[in-house]
Amino acid sequence: MIAYILRRLGATFIVMAVVALVVFSLLFLTPGDPAAVIAGDIATDEDIRNIRAKLGLDEPFLVQFGGWVWRLLHGDLGTSIFTNLPVTTLIGQRVQPTVSLTLCTLIVAVLIAVPMGVLAAARVGTWIDRLVMGFSVLGFSLPVFVLAYLLITAFSVQLEWLPVQGYRPLGDGLWPWLSHLILPSIALGTVYMALIARITRAAMLDVLSQDYIRTANAKGLAPRAVLTRHALKNAGVPIVTVVGIGIALLISGAIVTETVFAIPGIGRLTVDAILRRDYPIIQGVILLFSAVYVLINLLVDLSYPLFDPRIRY
């Protein structure tokens, strides 16, 4: 197990190095000059050249990349072009809303989608199965921002049950914090729930067709015990895999969700940075998201033996 973890950590380092190179290269080759954006419309060519020299944008690509990697190895993600604040500080100020939204969405999606998939597999061919599959198709088809505006219109504007936009930290109280996360979590988690429910149903159907399940039913075990103790545990590997893979959906969907609901999280920070061509922030956020996704995939791989003892590393 230790050797496997070390190998995966080595592979993670290589992946992050490739991601860093690709991110820096894409932003370096992107049309547009951040110096011209900072200087403004009335700036002269001399002003733009001075700003480029100050930011180091007039240096060769390899020199810029080498300096950026050296600072990165020392925990320095750079400094924002517009605010002159460290990128780590800006990200730290926006972490709590994004983590709160992601965790709430993850918990709600798993607690709802897994039972839906199990129930659909247990009642395959019935109206319950068709209802779950219909939800899965609708969840994949409906864009996050469309569902978000529908939820805002129904529950915030018409019924006035929940706030329209914004975020309240947990320190202000449990309900103010939760009330600002309910609608964003539903909007962001719908596509995630659809994915998990569909994969759970498929995995459960495969397990329920195995001989040991028929033996358990023949021995007179309660149907609920067969589903939960035997079938669901053995279907855990593909379910856990899709939960880990679905984190990418949450990361990409959080950007749209935070923009619609005006949540001051990392997604909103990313959108603002893209609009202003604030390259250091964009690079730092992409590296952060990549590192989180790679780490989650490692944890998912390490969890496989808990569901299938035959898996050994």
Q: Averaging pLDDT over each range in 32-41, 168-177, 225-234, which range is the top one?
A: 168-177
Q: Is 220 helix (H, G, I), strand (E, B) or coil?
A: coil
Q: Domain coordinates of the chain in residue numbers?
A: 94-303
Mean pLDDT of the chain: 81
Instruction: Tell me the pLDDT tens digit for each residue of 251-308.
Output: 777 888 888 888 888 888 888 888 777 778 888 888 888 888 888 887 887 777 777 6
CB 27 within 8 A of CB 279: yes
Q: Is the pLDDT of residue 311 over 80?
A: no
**203 closest CA partner among 233, 228, 239:** 239
CB 36 within 8 A of CB 55: no
pLDDT at 224: 76
The crossing angle, in degrees rounded to 10, of helices 182-208 and 236-245 is 150
pLDDT at 41: 65
Tokens 């459960």 locate to 204
pLDDT at 30: 66
Mean pLDDT in residue range 172-187: 88
Does the predicted TM-score (pTM) go above 0.85? Answer: no
pLDDT at 33: 64
* Cβ burial, residue 185 (10 Å; 0-12/13-18/19+): buried
CB 128 within 8 A of CB 120: yes
Contacts (Cβ under 8 Å, ≥6 apart) of 57: 33, 34, 35, 51, 64
Distance separating alpha carbons of residues 286 and 288, to the nearest angstrom: 5
- 308's enclosing H/E stretch is none
Q: Is 79 helix (H, G, I), strand (E, B) or coil?
A: strand
Tally Cβ neighbours within 10 Å of residue 63: 11
Report residue 79: phi and psi, to 5°: -125, 135
Match domain 94-303 to its CATH number in 1.10.3720.10, 2.60.40.10, 1.10.10.10, 1.20.950.20. 1.10.3720.10
Mean pLDDT in residue range 177-198: 88
